[in-house]
Amino acid sequence: LMRHRQVAPLELVNHYLERSERLNPSLGAYVTVMAEAARTEAQRKTDALMVTDPGDLPPLFGVTVSVKDLNPVAGAPCAYGIRAACDRIAPADGYIVTKLRQAGLIILGKTATSQVGSLPYTEPPGFPPARNPWNLDYTPGGSSGGGAAALAAGLCAIAQGSDGGGSLRGPAFCCGLVGLKAARGRISFAPLGERLHGLAVNGPLGRTVADTAALLDALSGYEIGDPYWLPDPQPGFLGGLAPPTTSLRLGYVTRLDPVGEVDPVCGQAILATARRAEALGHRVEPVNFPDMAALVEPFVLVWQSVLAESTIPWFVLEKLNRWLYWRAWRVSNGSYLRALSQLQQIARQIVQFCHPYDALILPVFMHPTIRIGQWKRLPSPQILEQVINWVAPCPPFNTSGQPALAIPAGFAPSGLPVGVQLVGRPAAEAQLLGLAHQLEQAHPWQSHRPPWASQTA
């Protein structure tokens, strides 16, 4: 519509800002709404639209996007979910934000994250909790929960987030969205080092598979000096988006040890997705995923090391992060290196297990969305146990580096969305997105809107 000059960027930005002004106080999706900067950029783009050939516009010209508050945006606070850091104004854009601007996107604001992005719900101390627009008593997930809440409630057109253990896929599951953890090396961490050794990756949240593919195109690409990288496909993820041309071999998983059988609601979503895939002509079979008990301790050890080596004072950390911080100080350098070696060995086992299949269909989380504050009063070791048991299907693929995509798959009896996870071969996002697009066409989900967000429109 904008390319045909039927809608101006300024109109679009004003629409989203007006919705944000009314809904965000109840939702807690944005920690910073950049209204003045967004309108200034939208006016500049509106003026440019009148004198620029549509073919010369960047691919996502004038589209609105939110940015997770782990990524610096020039002139805006970057607090990482830490209340004491709210007065820290970023002097320049981070690399991911530069990529968004190059694609023509307009940044509406910074979205809430769990403190330092470490938890699968978004309730950092000193901030209002981010709430799920499908039911405000429930979490939108984490750590990209603010972006998911904003997108599901119609407070932006697309959202940027990141995933180091399910932080894109979990919020997509909770809010009825599409969330992609891209393959390792697809999206650069330039100009920074990659502290988590490939476990974490920036990425897209979208309402549809096509939206997600479009933002993946904008974010992906090699930067000089990257420790590992993948060549971009031609004609790109969105341009090449098409259903598979041949029958795929798919496996589906309803049990993940050491946790056990998935909740029946999530299990039914997996079986329904498997039946749809079979009806589309794919070969589908149940598979027994390897026991991931050996993954837990080295994965947690590496993650907690980020807290220990940061410059964040321990006393500003929330309860679980503080406990992990002090645990990390008791770990030797040798234990850390052994943990990395263990993760690499487990990654080989996972990829080898997945190798016979074009894709796997798994749970995203082991049970439906939790209430806000549900685990808040538990001791830290019990919170960690609850978190591990809920998010268990996600960390294996941060470890292996395979692309993993969460897609909507229906609703729980509570009315909250549920989804499934599609995991592809290494570096095979294009095939994975094609399969998801085919499933989306067979079972459309993009017309569903949270009643609360629609009724208050």
Q: Which residues are catalytically annotated?
A: 68, 143, 167
DSSP 371: B
Query: Ramachandran region of residue 75, left (φ > 0), alpha (ψ -120 to 50) or beta?
Result: left
Residue with the two structure tokens 């195109």: 217
Distance CA 439, CA 273 (A): 8
Q: Where are the beta strands (DSSP E) in 350-412?
A: 359-363, 404-411
Q: Length of the chain, please?
A: 457
Q: Where are the beta strands (DSSP E) in 144-229?
A: 158-163, 178-181, 201-206
H/E stretch holding 306: helix 293-309
Mapped onto helix, strand or coil, the DSSP state of residue 162 is: strand
Residue with the two structure tokens 């502290």: 195
User: What is the β-pairing status of strands 359-363 and 249-252?
Assistant: parallel
H/E stretch holding 110: strand 106-111
What residues contact 370, with CB distance under 8 A and at least 6 apart?
121, 138, 139, 390
Distance CA 451, CA 457 (A): 10
Q: Where are the beta strands (DSSP E) in 80-192?
A: 106-111, 158-163, 178-181
Cis preceding-peptide flag for 426 (omega within 30 of 0): no
Mapped onto helix, strand or coil, the DSSP state of residue 436 is: helix
Nearest to 425 by CA among 347, 343, 357, 364: 357
In Å, what is the CA distance from 203 to each residue of 8, 163, 167, 223, 444? 27, 7, 10, 16, 23
The answer to whether 430 touches 213, Cβ cutoff 8 Å, is: no
Distance CA 431, CA 382 (A): 39
The answer to whether 326 touches 314, Cβ cutoff 8 Å, is: yes
Q: For CA atoms 76, 81, 85, 91, give the dihedral sign.
A: negative
Q: How far is CA 61 from the centre of its chain?
A: 22
